[in-house]
Amino acid sequence: MKSFSDRLADAVRRNASPVVVGLDPRADRLPPPLACDAAADVCRLAEAYELFCREIIDVVANSVAAVKPQSAFFEQLGPPGLAALHAVIEYARAKNVLVILDAKRGDIGSTAEAYAAAYLGQSSAWKADSLTVNPYLGGDSLAPFVAAAHQQQAGLFVLVKTSNPGSADFQDLQCEGRPLYRHVAARVEALAAEQLGECGYGSIGAVVGATHPEQLAELREAMPHAWLLIPGYGAQGGGAQDVASGFDAQGLGAVVNSSRAIIFAHQRPEYARFAPSDWQRAVEEATLAMRDELTANN
Amino acid sequence: MKSFSDRLADAVRRNASPVVVGLDPRADRLPPPLACDAAADVCRLAEAYELFCREIIDVVANSVAAVKPQSAFFEQLGPPGLAALHAVIEYARAKNVLVILDAKRGDIGSTAEAYAAAYLGQSSAWKADSLTVNPYLGGDSLAPFVAAAHQQQAGLFVLVKTSNPGSADFQDLQCEGRPLYRHVAARVEALAAEQLGECGYGSIGAVVGATHPEQLAELREAMPHAWLLIPGYGAQGGGAQDVASGFDAQGLGAVVNSSRAIIFAHQRPEYARFAPSDWQRAVEEATLAMRDELTANN
């Protein structure tokens, strides 16, 4: 199997799309055909989440670089939610859609090894193609994830500069001459450069929010070999111009996530023309519109 | 219900013990009566994990402040592992043993809300008494966890200074006049002081490793209202003297975790006198020995 980095590049090229659709199901925003009483029956709700995500995967399979299930919303339902997450990942893989599992894990030693063995690659329990991880615990906490990623042809996205306003609290602190996020970025770049794919990028990438365009440009330069996963597009306020500096001349090097604006597109005024039973068409149109916005200047 | 802070103080006093036993089951270290082939049947292994943890809870219920299931080892088994984790937490609560779920979650906005709703308190899916969280994403990423903790009479332990050598990489960086971990500690202290229990501590605590005795003393002083959860005792090298500065004059203010040295005590030479079928007695003796070490100077 190719490296995660090259599989991601292939998906971007094949679908002419750097779009990542975030799978963040929520009981109170499901399309009417899938609505169910969250309080009454958590197992039915978990089934609704699974069906919702499967339908989205069907619709976006040929217009996205990857899907990004957000583990939190599945964990919120307890064990039935996690069975649904497992089924969603399996479904995406069967449809040849790359999965970036957004779980922001991080721990040390054998615990980090357990997380890596849990999530990364075909031989893991969850079989994700890649995983988001949190760097706060330091380089030796990332090492087991990196080792597993390389061994399993899987990928990582390390949090570097997140899209929320509070990311400034610690990530922007000036530490020994540069912001903390630059220290983390230097570590990510070194890890990315260890094993480069044919596309020129490694399988160890970085999360950099769309809401900080100047820092995105700075971090693109600081991590020339790292894929950037850019959240914060759409609902959080980032636009196409804000993320433009993430891409190289071939349109590679970055993928851009949108969750709510796509998966709940049926609730957006511009897609009110679709009947509730046609919510998938709203998802489809919102995905294609985002792809067009992002690739208009290519 | 009392606040998490006061329930923790009650447990420390009732059992005269600041010991937290980490529930980190591993297939290759289960006691012989519970051994099963990990590769052959993950469901049987998950059942073995559950039984192993339940037996440990039975043995330590009256000699610990809390138990700390490590989510990673359950996640490693996929959905059956998480069903086991759910059952273990339920069992501990039924036995009136406090649960600190070690999952090191962290995210922003509605995702952080989902994690908090997943884990914290009796009305959540997982019903943990408290949760470890990662501060890298900033103050607004902690806020939903804090709000839920206060509402659910639950607790948090925010990673401040972890026990691994690599914790120096980012946590020790000098940022605007002091190490990063002190910036995080200042935030934790402010959150802890917002709602104090009768015991004098808040329900928002901090993780500070036993492997850094000087920083532990410094951080005890910097966070006078925060419970400290101290990992790194035993297998990672910290001893009773290393953690002594964590406690106040009443023996409160800190709890000390040991995982492997207790739950796999049947493999330690000093407990070789117990038959394999008596592995629970090795756990019991190791727990009592740790309690005695920690309270010898009180």
Instruction: List the single residue in A72, A117, A118 with the smallest CB-CB distance to B114.
Output: A72
pLDDT digits (tens, 9 = 90+) for B24-64: 999 999 999 999 877 779 999 999 999 999 999 999 999 99
> How many angstroms separate the CA atoms of B179 and B215, rounded?
10
The values of phi and psi at residue B92, to 5°, are -60, -45
Q: Do B72 and A114 touch (CB under 8 A)?
A: yes
Contact residues, chain B, for A162 at CB < 8 Å? 108, 136-138, 141
A239 against A264, higher pLDDT = A264
- Confirm if B43 and B15 have CB atoms less than 8 A apart: no
> Of B115, B137, B164, which is closest to A138 when you measure between CB atoms?
B164
The residue among B59, B123, B115, B119 whose CA lies nearest residue B92 is: B59
The SS3 assignment for B55 reads: helix
A43, A74, A108, A187: best to mutate for the B interface, most B CBs within 10 A? A108
Question: Which amino acid appears at position B208 of this protein?
Answer: V
Weakest mean pLDDT among A168-172, A206-210, B209-213, B216-220: B209-213
CA distances from B221 to A71, A103, B5, B182 (A): 36, 33, 18, 11
Distance, CA of A238 to CA of A187 (rounded, Å): 26
Mutate to test the interface with B, among A50, A90, A131, A137 (most CBs of B within 10 A): A137
Residue A99 confidence (pLDDT): 98
**Distance to chain A for B249, nearest Cα, Å:** 31
Domain count, chain B: 1
For chains A and B, CB pairs below 8 A equal: 190
Min Cα–Cα distance to chain B from A185, Å? 11
Q: What is the pLDDT of residues B92-136, one digit of tens each?
A: 999 999 999 999 999 999 999 999 999 999 999 999 999 999 999
- Mean pLDDT for A112-118 is 98
Do the Cβ atoms of B22 and B256 come closer than 8 Å?
no
Average pLDDT, chain B: 96
The Cα A15–Cα A63 span in angstroms is: 5
Q: Which pLDDT score is estimated for B36?
A: 87
Q: Do B108 and A163 touch (CB under 8 A)?
A: yes
User: Which listed residue (A68, A104, A127, A161) is catalytic?
Assistant: A104
Q: What single-letter DSSP state applies at residue B135?
A: -
> Does the beta-carbon distance from A139 to B176 stay under 8 Å?
no
Q: What is the mean pLDDT of residues B159-180?
A: 97
Q: How large is the average pLDDT for residues B221-235?
A: 93
For residues A244 and A228, is the Cβ–Cβ distance under 8 A? no
Nearest-10 crossing angle of helices B109-119, B139-152: 30
The SS3 assignment for B141 reads: helix
| pLDDT beyond 70 at B243 | yes
Instruction: Quickly tell me which residue has 């709703």 as its tokens.
Output: B117
| Number of other residues whose CB lies within 10 A of the CB of residue A172 | 17
pLDDT in tens, A238-262: 789 999 999 999 999 999 999 999 9
> Is the ipTM of this structure higher than 0.95?
yes
> Would the CB atoms of A104 and B107 count as touching at under 8 Å?
yes
- Position A298 scores a pLDDT of 57
DSSP E strands in A111-246: the ranges are 130-133, 155-161, 174-175, 178-179, 204-208, 228-230
pLDDT of residue B234: 79
Collapsed DSSP state (helix, strand, coil) of residue A257:
strand
Tokens of A186: 């230097």
pLDDT of residue B37: 78
The reply to whether residue B166 touches residue A109, judged by beta carbons under 8 angstroms, is: no
Q: Is B163 helix (H, G, I), strand (E, B) or coil?
A: coil
Give yes or no for residue A236 having a pLDDT over 80. no
Judging contacts by C-beta atoms under 8 Å, the chain B residues touching residue A141 are 162, 164, 166
Give me the residue from A105, A107, A138 closest to B171, CB to CB: A138
Query: What's residue B297's pLDDT?
Result: 67
pTM, rounded to two decimals: 0.98
Question: Residue A217 contacts by C-beta under 8 Å, 6 or more apart in sequence?
Answer: A245
**Is B298's pLDDT higher than 60?**
no
pLDDT of B239 higher than 80? yes
Q: Look up the domain containing B114 and give its range.
A: 4-295
- Residue A5 pairs in a beta bridge with none
Gap between the Cα atoms of A68 and A257, Å rounded? 8
**B175·A174 Cβ contact <8 A:** yes
Does residue A235 have a pLDDT over 90?
Answer: no
pLDDT above 80: residue A224:
yes
Distance CA A1, CA B149 (A): 45
Which pLDDT value is given to residue A78? 97
Q: How far apart are CA B266 and CA B284, in angstroms?
A: 10
| pLDDT: which is higher, A19 or B234 | A19
Of B86, B294, B292, B272, which is closest to residue B210 (Cα–Cα)? B294
Backbone φ and ψ for B124, nearest 5 degrees, come out as -85, 170
User: Looking at the partner chain, which of A81, A118, A138 has a beta carbon nearest the beta carbon of B76?
Assistant: A118
Mutate to test the interface with B, among A163, A170, A171, A236 (most CBs of B within 10 A): A170
Contact A180 B184 (CB under 8 A): no
* CB B183, CB A180: distance < 8 Å: no
**CATH value at residue B62:** 3.20.20.70
Q: How far is CA B228 from CA A19, B103, B154, B209, in A?
A: 43, 17, 15, 9
Cβ-based contacts of B137 with chain A (< 8 Å): 134, 159, 162, 164, 166-167, 171
Alpha-carbon distances of A83 from A46, A51, B280, rounded to whole Å: 8, 12, 32
Q: Which of A82, A113, A85, A84 is nearest to A99 (CA)?
A: A85
A158 pairs with which residues across the strands?
A133, A206
> Given this model, what pLDDT does residue B51 score?
98
pLDDT, mean of residues B290-294: 97
The token duo for B230 is 């101290």
Tell me what the mean pLDDT of segment A108-136 comes to.
97
**Would the pLDDT of A38 be above 90?**
no
Strand order in the sheet with A155-161: A66-69, A19-23, A254-258, A228-230, A204-208, A155-161, A130-133, A100-105
B248-261 pLDDT tens trace: 999 999 999 999 99
- The nearest alpha carbon in chain A to B87 belongs to A79
| Catalytically annotated residues of B | 104
What single letter denotes the amino acid at residue A72? A
Q: How do residues A169-221 score in pLDDT, each as one tens digit?
A: 999 999 999 999 999 999 999 999 999 999 999 999 999 999 999 999 999 99
Q: Which of A124, A164, A174, A180 to mutate to test the interface with B (most CBs of B within 10 A)?
A: A164
* pLDDT confidence bin for A47, thresholds 50/70/90: very high
The answer to whether the Cβ–Cβ distance between A162 and B187 falls below 8 Å is no
What CA–CA distance (Å, rounded) separates B276 from B287?
18
The nearest CA of chain B is from the CA of A297 a distance in Å of 31
**Residue A166 and residue B104: Cβ atoms within 8 Å?**
no
